[in-house]
Structure 1
């Protein structure tokens, strides 16, 4: 007889049960904020690279749906991110001396040396985002492992050190965390959207740290049409920060907020102005620790050791 299990027991739907760890972030700050720049331009799907179709998520609905036909308009939108958008976002961060994490698909910088140089900033952490910007859950275990190793090698050669973090497109495969532990060298992954606070999971009898990401505080909503004006992004982020700060002041518990931006989206001047407003808000608030994901992971290991 097959043993029945309550629905959801193969997932963790409880987490910290409303009580994340007590504490404060470095400098006595009440909230950690990470800005993640998703660098994917040049690694996306295109028949030019042997893919069946061109990537979506451009500025307009795709006009070309034929298999094997390049959509030069959408390709051109992605090119903007590499040519203009990424440098603009890095400049805005640098002017305010704000650190950020770049989720970098390795192929995006492998043959684009100018873009790689733009990202070589001491305030930018490079996090692995695949070799191609592709869905890892559609790969075999061996192919996924090879793609991770290839990305780590390429990023290590370009930036002088391999990435210590990993974030897949959309969602990981069920084998992803085991592969990250097997390959080694990773402090964390960000393949989850399920919490406001980092947490440990057990992988092959080891403690592995998850630094959650967010699809909520993310400029991809401009592509989906759920953000109408740049001010929508500013308001959503500022409201999230304000409420989390109030929660932390009331209960003294650790929380973080992730803000996701894309060079082809928020690198456009009108949307970059919204990013500029958000950065000014962060820079002006001494109770916020704006940190890279690596810095957050290192703080967590040092101050919140695993209990397993």
Structure 2
């Protein structure tokens, strides 16, 4: 692992000076995106910390005796709303991009001022369930209430009406999409099958899928596989380089995911800024919220339909 990490120095990789384009929607020949972008990058910022149950998964060994609370693990989550999201918000502002924040209802209610600040800074608030509980095993009515309660928490706290949905660990149930359509959602992200948005039929109506990725996800790579920051960034950079090449002839979307207590650490924010500046140096690269991507997809008659 040390040998792999030493192959590329992220400092020198992204050392070339770049111009941060605040409106990078430059028309590109052969663009497959309706707005003329060559490649669209979609950044997710999960707002989950504070809504986790006792003894939730963490970097600490799961060896607590029953009946006791893992207090150090709780402080790891607290970092997400005390340091992580505020640091990421400043980073997005400095880079001139807007992101989609998938918000757990209980986390929003615990830190309402932070949730509102995310929206006030121009980012999208998307629903992420009322709590960390699974929903795929709920009855139709219980799952509908679970989703709606999360939406209501976001609307009451931020004034933003969520139109996008992300289930806990992407594990939606057989009824989830029907419920989302009934509740007025426009898209969901719990799908890994493509590198571009597409339209499906739900309740005989169009519904957009803005695909997600676990290949460019800090909780999978940093926490799950113990990647160092340079390994994480080099993997995402490789994904970007290939998709940018393909985007000369195909509609391509790059998805990157950051979690409050992981992506908001100083080291991650630093290398993320370097990476995004590298992407912004490429002609026709746009950064968009997922609700913007969904809206474009609905209007585009050339998108993939399943």
SS of the residue 1:102 aligns to: strand
Q: Which residue of 2 aligns with 1:177?
A: 177
| Deviations 1:116-139 (CA, angstroms, capped at 9, x unpaired) | 243133431111001112221132
Q: Does 1:269 align with 2:270?
A: no
**Displacement, 1:23?**
4.4
Q: Which residue of 1 aligns with 2:102?
A: 103
Contact 2:95 2:273 (C-alpha < 8 Å) held by counterparts: no
**Displacement, 1:27?**
5.0
| Deviations 1:134-160 (CA, angstroms, capped at 9, x unpaired) | 221132222111011111111111121
The 3 A distance-change label for structure 1 pair 142 and 69 is farther
The 3 A distance-change label for structure 1 pair 26 and 282 is farther
Superposition TM-score, scaled by structure 2 size: 0.84
Unaligned runs of 5+ in 1: 1-21, 47-53
**Displacement, 1:34?**
0.4
Superposition TM-score, scaled by structure 1 size: 0.84
Cα distance in 2 for residues equivalent to 1:293 and 1:268 = 24
Number of residue pairs matched by the alignment? 274
Q: Which residue of 1 aligns with 2:60?
A: 60
| Deviations 1:21-72 (CA, angstroms, capped at 9, x unpaired) | x8433553211110000110011112xxxxxxx110x2332341x3442111
Cα distance in 1 for residues equivalent to 2:35 and 2:141 = 44
SS of the residue 2:260 aligns to: coil
SS of the residue 1:120 aligns to: helix
Cα distance in 2 for residues equivalent to 1:81 and 1:68 = 25
Q: Does 1:35 align with 2:35?
A: no
Q: Which residue of 2 aligns with 1:193?
A: 192
SS of the residue 1:259 aligns to: strand
The 3 A distance-change label for structure 1 pair 177 and 68 is farther
Cα distance in 2 for residues equivalent to 1:204 and 1:225 = 39
* Deviates further, 192-201 or 288-297: 192-201
* Deviates further, 25-34 or 192-201: 25-34
Contact 2:33 2:251 (C-alpha < 8 Å) held by counterparts: yes
| Deviations 1:231-282 (CA, angstroms, capped at 9, x unpaired) | 1111111111111111121xx2211011000110121112222222222223
Contact 2:192 2:213 (C-alpha < 8 Å) held by counterparts: yes
Q: Does 1:24 align with 2:32?
A: yes
